Amino acid sequence: MTVNQNFRKLQSSYLFATIGKKVREYQAANPGADIIRLGIGDVTRPLPAASIAAMHAAVDDMSRAETFVGYPTDYGLHFLEDAIQADYALRGVRIELDEIFLSDGAKSDTGNIGDIFGADNIVAVCDPIYPVYVDTNVMGGRAGELLPDGRWNRFVYLTCGEETEFAPALPDSRADLVYLCSPNNPTGTAMNRTQLQTWVDWANEQGSILLYDGAYEAFITEDLPRSIYEIPGARTCAIEFRSFSKTAGFTGVRAAYTVVPQELRADGAQVNALWSRRQATKFNGVSYITQKGAEATFTPAGRAQVRETIAYYLHNAGTIRRGLEAAGFRVWGGVNSPYIWLKAPHGLSSWAFFELLLHEFQIVGTPGAGFGPAGEGYFRLTGFGTAERTAEAVDRIRRRYGEL
């Protein structure tokens, strides 16, 4: 009896599990501590009223034999796919129904997509970046060995630093699969059309595939692309991941979708057909009740309610950004994203600043080092808290900044 040896290469615990453990230990030692959590990217606002009404109606459907719904056909019920297709059309993007694959989360899909690609492919990841992209490819056998600097020897790292406003530059070596996230988690920055066009042109020339995570596209406020398919040539080189988690508060409900164009080819195979086969084998679809709730977010009322919630979180992000800038921090993000990325003061390491915020300010954030070696010395805060608690957290930092 053996196990997948690639799992032995992983860190002993997931980043956010480590943070949770540290917070629990602090709470046990300080039971009266008033902790403000601005770390994990979980939402706090309730679901849109339109979604709640639609889900209640869907529950009633499931109570009657004549409207009961069992296994979904063709990997989804077409009413939600129709709504997604129409939403893309508003941006001038044509997506076919059989190119839309419903799922339980963008996190799942960005990890599972590796199932259809060979273990010998070279993977490129931004650094810093969402750790699931790295860990799932380690599990899939694409990482090689861990180097002393914390990087895997078979990965191509696209270092994103202050000099480029944390935008990734093209690799100078082979890369078959490239993970891009815009607006980015954790840095909160978003790529413009010129930057995305450069990536699309490169991928088509190299025969590479862009794995484009657009989970935060609803937070874009400036004139920036909301989809990779707004860029000419993307249909032959890109897969896009979208989610209802942050846009409509579905973190506890679970609904997302991935778009795989029919034109996309790899190793002589149609990628759409491979992903369709994978999903048909390993996934039984998103529940009817959840799909009805997701569909409601595309109605006029649902859109308005989602925009209101997005504005609430962006207001929080703006509160953090303005407050930290006034306190002398170097800050990025918070304009087209709910995430604030900041430089730890006085040369502190990411984890040292985490400990300082927790023990001295009772504020929980996320150490930048947890997002990759290039994240060392940086820190992530989120706008997903309540407005009152977010303002209190910023006030604590500003009042006591002289103690840092």
Last residue of a domain, one of 299, 328, 354: 299
Domain that holds residue 148: 50-299
The DSSP secondary structure of 87-108, one letter per residue, reads HHHTTT----GGGEEEES-HHH
Q: Choose among 317, 326, 332: nearest CA to 382.
A: 317
270/150: higher pLDDT: 270
Reading the block at residue 126, the tokens are: 């931004």
Using the 3D structure, point to which of 251, 273, 299 is the last residue of a domain. 299
Q: Which of 299, 326, 349 lies at the terminal end of a domain, its last residue?
A: 299
pLDDT at position 401 is: 67
For residue 295, count CB atoms less than 10 angstroms from its CB and return exposed for 0-12, middle for 13-18, buried for 19 or more.
buried
Mean pLDDT taken over the chain: 94
Does 143 lie in the same domain as 107?
A: yes
404: pLDDT strictly greater than 60: no
Mean pLDDT of 188-217: 98
Backbone Cα Rg of the chain = 21
In this structure, the chain runs to a length of: 404
Model pTM score: 0.95
Return d(Cα 15, Cα 246) in angstroms, integer. 19
Estimate to the nearest angstrom the gap between the alpha carbon of 291 and the chain centroid: 20
pLDDT above 90 as % of the chain? 90
* Contact (CB, 8 A) for 260 and 101: yes
Task: Decide: 126 and 158 in contact? Cβ < 8 Å.
Answer: yes
Look at residue 358 and give its three-state secondary structure: helix
Q: Please tell me the distance from the alpha carbon of residue 260 to that of residue 133, in angstroms, as a whole number.
A: 18
**For position 12, what pLDDT does the model report?**
65
The CATH number of residue 176's host domain is 3.40.640.10
Give the mean pLDDT of 93-110: 96
Two tokens at 75? 């990997």
Query: Which residues are 364's β-sheet partners?
Result: 37
Domains of the chain: total = 2
Tell me: do 130 and 198 sit in the same domain: yes
Query: At 376, which CATH number?
Result: 3.90.1150.10
List, for residues 215-254, the tens digit of each pLDDT value: 999 999 999 999 999 999 999 999 999 999 999 999 999 9
pLDDT at 181 over 70: yes
